[in-house]
Structure 1
Amino acid sequence: MPAEKPLLQCYNRGCGQKYDPDKNTDESCRHHPGLPVFHDAYKGWGCCNKKCTDFTEFLNIKGCTLSKHSNIKPPEPEKPVMKEDIADTQVVEVKPIVPPTLERPPVDTPMVIMKPNIAQSLMQQLNTAPQQQEKKEVPESDEVQIGTTCKNGGCQVTYQGPDTNNTLCTYHPGVPIFHEGMKYWSCCQKKTSDFNSFLNQAGCNQGKHLWKKDDADMQTVQCRWDFHQTATHVIVSVYAKKYCPKESSVKLSPVRLCSSLVFPEQSNATFDLDYELRGIIDVNASEVSMFGTKVEIKMKKAEPGAWAKLGSPIETKDQKKELKTTSAVDNMTPQMEAVDLDDL
Structure 2
Amino acid sequence: MATEKNLLQCYNRGCGQKYDPENNLNDSCRHHPGLPVFHDAYKGWSCCNKKCTDFTEFLNIKGCTSSKHSNIKPPEPEKQVLKEELLEEVIEVKPIPTALKRPPPDTPLVTLKPEIAPSLQQVKPAEQKSGQQANEIEGEITIGTTCKNGGCGATYQGPETNSSTCTYHPGVPIFHEGLKYWSCCQKKTTDFNVFLNQVGCETGSHVWKKDEEEKTVQCRWDFHQTGSHVIVSIYAKQYCPNESIVKLSPVRLNAKLIFPLQSNSSFLLDVELKGIVDVGASQVTMYGSKVEIKMKKAEPGSWCKLGVPLGTDKPSVKTNLDNITPAVEAVNLDDL
Structure 1 length-normalised TM? 0.48
Query: Greater CA radius of gyration, 1 or 2?
Result: 2
Q: Which structure has more helix as a fraction of its residues?
A: 1
TM-score, length-normalised on structure 2? Answer: 0.49
